[in-house]
Structure 1
Amino acid sequence: MLLILCGVLILHVVILILLIVSTAASAWSVTGKGSTDLWYTCVSNDDSHHCKPASSEDWIQAVQALMILSVLFCFCSLVAFLYQLFRLMKGGRFFFTSIFQILASVFVMCGAIIYTVMSPNAQFGYAYVLAWVAFPLCLASALIYIVLRKKE
C-alpha cells in the first residue's frame, strides 16, 4: 500500500511541475525568429533580443487565467490529498482530492483548446505540448483518487 501511495504522490508532483512549467515557460508557439507564450512575445534579431507583453486580447487572458487556475487546483488537490491521507477514516475514498484534480484537468484542457483554436497557424512549442501531456495525466490521477481507499 505504501508503494501505491508513493506512486500516486510522485505522479501528482510530476503533474504539478508540468503545469507550472507549461504556464511559465516561454514556448507556447515558436517561430524561426522568436517565441510566444502566455505572458510575452519575444523576437530575436542577429544582435538583440526584444520581448514585449502578450497581447491584451480576451482569449489570451482567458488562457492565462485557466492555466493559473489549473496550477492552483492541482496544488490544492495535493494539499487535500496529504490532509485526507492522515485524517480520512479507514476505508474512506479521496473524493475531495479527486474533485480538485478533475477541475485542474478541465481547466488545462480548456486553456489548451482556446490557444489551439485562436492560433491556427502556429508552430507549437514544448510548453504547449506539456500542457496537453498534463491534461490526461491529471485526469488519470483524478480517476486513481476516486478508486483509491485508505487502508491502515
Structure 2
Amino acid sequence: MLVVLAFIIIFHITSIALLFIATIDNAWWVGDNFYFDIWRTCVNTTTTAVCDEIGSNNNSFQAIQTIQATMILATILCCIGLLSFVLQLFRLKQGERFVFTAIIQMLSCLCVMIAAAIYTSMHEEFHPNADIKSGTFGYSFILAWIAFAFTLINSIMYLVLRKRK
C-alpha cells in the first residue's frame, strides 16, 4: 500500500509541475522567429527578442483571459488536491477517503481541458499574421494536454484508492 501511495504522490507532483510549466512558459505557439503563450507574444529580431504582453487591443482578448484563468485555476486546484490528499490520508476512515481529492482533481482536469480546447479551436484568431499562422503548437501546449491526461488518471486513481485497505 505504501508503494501505491508513493506512486500517487509522485504522479500528483508531476501533474502539478506540468501545469506550472504549461501555464508559465512561453511556448504555446512557436515558429522559426516567434513564440507565443497565453501571456505574451515574442518575435525574434536579428539581435534580441521583442516581447509584448497580450492586451485588450487583441480581438480575442476574452478568450485569452479565459485560458489564463482556467490554467491558473487548474494549477491551484491541483495543489489543493495534493494538500487535501495528505490531510485525508490520516484524518478520514476508509471508504470516505480521497473522494474530496478526486473531485478536486476532476475539476482541475476539467479546467485544463477547457483551456487547451479553447486554445486549440481559436489559435488562428489569436495570431492573424500570415507568417505567424505557419507556426506549430509548442511544448507548453502539449504539456497542457498531458497534464489533462495526468489529472484525469489521478482523479480516477483516487476514486479507486478510496476503497483499498
Residue by residue over 1:72-119, the C-alpha shift from the partner in whole angstroms, topping out at 9 and shown as x without a partner, is 100110010000011111343310000000000000000000001111
Gaps of 5+ in 1: none
Partner of 2:88: 84
Which residue identity lines up with residue 59 of structure 1 in the other structure? A
1:119 aligns with 2:123: yes
Task: Give the 5 Å matches for 1:88-103.
Answer: 88-103=92-107
**Deviation at residue 135 of structure 1 after TM alignment:** 0.5
Query: Percent identity, aligned pairs only?
Result: 41
1:68 aligns with 2:72: yes
8 Å contact from structure 1 (residues 63, 115) kept in 2 = yes
Partner of 1:28: 28
8 Å contact from structure 2 (residues 35, 43) kept in 1 = yes
**Deviation at residue 24 of structure 1 after TM alignment:** 0.2
**d(CA) in 2 for partners of 1:97, 1:109:** 18
| TM-score, with length taken from structure 2 | 0.88
8 Å contact from structure 2 (residues 84, 101) kept in 1 = yes
Q: What SS does structure 2 have at the residue aligned with 1:133?
A: helix
**d(CA) in 2 for partners of 1:37, 1:151:** 41
CA RMSD of aligned residues (A): 1.4
Which residue identity lines up with residue 107 of structure 1 in the other structure? C
**d(CA) in 2 for partners of 1:151, 1:113:** 34
Task: Give the 5 Å matches for 1:133-148.
Answer: 133-148=146-161
Task: Give the 5 Å matches for 1:3-22.
Answer: 3-22=3-22
Q: What SS does structure 1 have at the residue aligned with 2:136?
A: coil
